[in-house]
Amino acid sequence: MSQLKAIIGLGNPGADYEATRHNAGAWLVHAVARAAGSELRPERKFLGRHARVRLDGRELHLLEPTTFMNRSGGAVAALCQFFKIAPDELLVAHDELDMPPGTARYKTGGGHGGHNGLRDIIRALGNDKSFHRLRIGIGHPGEARQVTNYVLGRPGKAERGAIDAAIDECLATLPQAVDGDWAKAMNRLHSFKG
């Protein structure tokens, strides 16, 4: 299995969206930067905020696209081209409606599942779907027509606490994921119930 070279955290830009459920992927990338004693800084050539950190002795790029979610692909493609990163060396962290808050799952490859950020990344990578995903559960509002308002809404205190607990558990499993030991990372993360 390939080792990771970059973690992308998806979200929407600006203060209005910062604390919304759709930004769970961005929350993860900021947590990784904090844990590494770093912070993401604006980088125009990558259409986002970028940091280069060390995680368990390995260099890793962190990126939070500052485009809107449905335009995330341009930022990911720019980072990959500049640093010569292959799609299977990427981990894309994103919110996941089909999992409850307090859960997170690794996944390799697959479709976009209706997620506009993933859809645009797949398109920008020339339809290469081999990148890894870190799905952070945010729960589902119950009806399809409520999804947009739900993902663009802010979680309640208990719900945000559960999401943050899952993100903390993600951080604990990242060294294995970065090393390409997906089985070990998945075993721990997938058994976590926040």
For residues 50 and 41, the answer to whether their CB atoms sit within 8 Å is yes
Is residue 116 annotated as involved in ligand binding? Answer: yes
For residues 147 and 97, the answer to whether their CB atoms sit within 8 Å is yes
| Catalytic residue list contains 22 | yes
**Biggest CA-to-CA distance, the chain:** 46
Is residue 131 annotated as involved in ligand binding? Answer: no
Query: What is the spatial distance between Cα 104 and Cα 158, in angstroms, rounded to a whole number?
Result: 16
For residues 73 and 113, the answer to whether their CB atoms sit within 8 Å is no
Query: What is the spatial distance between Cα 34 and Cα 17, in angstroms, rounded to a whole number?
Result: 20
Q: How many helices (H) and strands (E) does the chain have?
A: 6, 7
Is residue 127 annotated as involved in ligand binding? Answer: no
Backbone angles phi, psi at 65, to 5 degrees: -60, 140
Is residue 23 annotated as involved in ligand binding? Answer: no
Tokens of 117: 């950020």
DSSP string of 4-53, one letter each residue:
P-EEEE----STTTTTSGGGHHHHHHHHHHHHTT---EEEGGGTEEEEEE
Annotation: binding site: 17, 68, 70, 116
The set of catalytic residues is 22
Annotation: binding site for tRNA: 17, 68, 70, 116
